[in-house]
A and B are shown apart, each in its own frame.
Chain A
Amino acid sequence: MMKSKLFWPIVVLLIILLINLFFDKNFFTIEVKNGYLTGSLIDILNRGAPLLLVSIGMTLVIATKGVDLGVGSVIAMAGAVGAMTVSGANGDSLVPLFTAIAFVIAISILTGIWNGVLVSRIGVQPIVATLILMVAGRGIAQLITDGQIMTVYYDPYTFIGGGHLLMLPFSIFIVAAMLVIASFLTRKTAMGLFIESVGTNPEASRLSGINSKNILLMVYVFSGICAGIGGLILSSNVASADGNNAGLWYELDAILAVVIGGTSLNGGRFYLMGTVIGALIIQSLTTTIYSIGIAPEINLVVKAIVVLIVCLLQSPEFRKKVFGVFNMKQTEKKSKNEGVSIS
């Protein structure tokens, strides 16, 4: 168990949840209300759904040694497009709903292709390539919503982020479906191996016959789709679209979730389940900060510090400097006997 990459993230998640129990005795209670399961744990899953989706996409991008800073803007654009498509709709016809979903997926694929082509074909560094969309995308979202917060009065639309299925929030099922698809593609086909190999060394992968460029393109498209669906859930949950604030700061949260989950920013091996736990940690952290009554503004500071600490723990230089002095021999023994515990 100690050998598993998932061990430390799970411990951290449990600690955060236990801290909550200290402040709220009923934190772990799950009740049936109006025919639905309700409770803080379900709430964390439900509210964390967009972040979970975005992080799953981000995991694959980071595995190729890239990063997608545009996800927050894609969330805003997707929400704006979705809300705009159903803005005139009334009644119970499901046609506008599916049109909206189709439009959202189309625009998220487009953004993915944009990022992917810039990175794989033109060879721009991923940070800069996706930074273009991070800023311009929010501009486009603002243009779509006309700078206003767009409100939706169409009930089927709110089902995606606010509806229930089998007593559970519907968004949980969307996340589960995407997770299954991603795991299947990466672990049951050779795709995962290709992604890891491109992340480790794109040139060597190309020489060994892998189409590095298309792998890169595909990864960004997948990240775009994940962010797009995340945006749809987010905007459907509040039945509105806000070009300015929807998905703001999601980039850092997603990167943080991936890094906590054990995937290195230097590319290569990736851990989808680790990312899921990482995203849950962040969502629990946010919920905790709200429920304990600390000012929500401190959130950004806490997250920035956490991301730095995790990065430092991953850095070989840091580990050598800090842990090396005290227990060089112990670590050697440990690594022989039990494998690496922190990384």
Chain B
Amino acid sequence: MTKGFQLDSKHLPLAATIGLFIVMFLFGSLRYTGFFSTQVFLNLFIDNAFLIVVAVGMTFVILSGGIDLSVGSIIALTSMVAASLTMNAQLSPALVIPLSLLVGTVLGFSMGCLIHYFNLQPFIVTLAGMFLARGLCYLINVESITINNEFFSFMASTRIPVGGGNFISISVIIALLVVVAAIFVAHFTKFGRNVYALGGSEQSALLMGLPVGKTKILIYTVSGFCSSLAGLIFTFYMLSGYGLHANGLELDTIAAVVIGGTLLTGGAGYVAGSVVGVLILGIIQTVIVFEGTLSSWWTKIAIGGLLLLFIVLQRVIVARSKTTQTSIASH
């Protein structure tokens, strides 16, 4: 009886998230004509492919009990590097893409090393990383660089039909591949289990003899890589590099992960949940676009409010499961 309840309460945020998504989709469908269509649903993926990829990386970080504030800036830096290498250095995409992916990976790796070897707080290291990456963007170019390249245009405009006249983009396929890979890594590999153990209790993980340091560094490297990949997808989407791209994306990403049911204190959550979290953020944006008269700034405010709601929900659940545990212990 108690066990069943505990299982329920663990899944409650995710269940609430899926429920909320369905309610919002129904609300949109009833209120606006043309909202209830497969293409509107698929557009959620097309417009938020990059966010899905960042959220996957962030899920690992938050699962381990850390935080990564540098994701938005790394996206901007990747877009800037890709744009300047393609347009100014005239390199071929075959070189540009690996180099751009290296940007976030190296930054993430360095941040992971600083966090592990010198025992610095993740938030201050990644906050410095956030400013460093933005600063580097401006060093490359203060203005926006427009990309005019066959490969990039191909990636941007190719539509893959999925039947019924609906389509998705190449970015969606990349994002879904990342999600599948991440689910595999999180649940079927040693690394994945180490991440969960680290988030549950770093002390216990250390005492169990798990490679805490290696895992920590790898987590931030993965998050950096995901940010860079998201940066590339974002570049395909915008076809430009700019230092102000993805400003404030940190909150969106953290919000998506938390709304997706991952505990902010680490140790519990799912990669798939974060995807639903991203879709909810996407649907808020779609509703605001369909409404037409609302300022786009309402998106930020709505995301902030929703994040607050889910954090409170998490606190309630954690507090309740604690009281159940103590009541079991005392009986």
Contacts and interface: CB of A to CB of B under 8 A. Distances in A.
Given A308-B125, A315-B120, A124 B264 contact: yes
Interface in A179-237: none
Interface stretch (A50-58, A82-90, A139-147): A139-147
B211 interface: no
Nearest to A128: B264
Interface in B23-75: 67, 69
A67 B122 CA distance: 13
Contacts of B118: 311-312, 315, 317-318, 321
B251 A298 contact: no
B241 to A, nearest CB: 15
A131 B300 contact: no
Contacts of B127: 251-252, 255, 307
A245 to B, nearest CB: 11
28 contacts: A122-B311, A124-B311, A128-B254, A128-B264, A128-B311, A133-B304, A135-B250, A135-B304, A136-B301, A138-B248, A139-B298, A139-B299, A139-B301, A140-B297, A147-B297, A252-B131, A265-B121, A265-B124, A297-B138, A297-B139, A298-B135, A298-B139, A299-B135, A301-B135, A305-B132, A307-B124, A307-B131, A321-B117
Contacts of B197: none
A135 B297 contact: no
A80 B129 CA distance: 29
Secondary structure call for the A interface: helix
B312 interface: yes
A147 B297 CA distance: 9
A312 B312 CA distance: 35
A135 B300 contact: yes
Interface in A118-172: 118, 122-125, 127-129, 131-136, 138-140, 142-143, 147
Contacts of A249: 131
B301 A317 contact: no
B131 A300 contact: yes
Given A138-B248, A143-B301, A308-B114, 17 more contacts: A131-B254, A133-B304, A138-B300, A140-B297, A142-B297, A255-B127, A265-B124, A297-B135, A302-B135, A304-B129, A304-B131, A304-B135, A305-B132, A307-B127, A307-B128, A311-B118, A312-B118
Nearest to B250: A131
Contact of A300 (B138, B264, B265, B299): B138
A255 B120 CA distance: 15
Interface string B117-155: 111110111011101101110110010000000000000
Given A122-B312, A139-B300, A305-B132, A255 B124 contact: yes
A5 interface: no
B98 interface: no
B308 interface: yes
B212 interface: no
Given A127-B123, A311-B124, A135 B248 contact: yes
Interface in A265-309: 265-266, 295, 297-305, 307-308
Interface string B231-273: 0000000000000000010111010001000001100000000
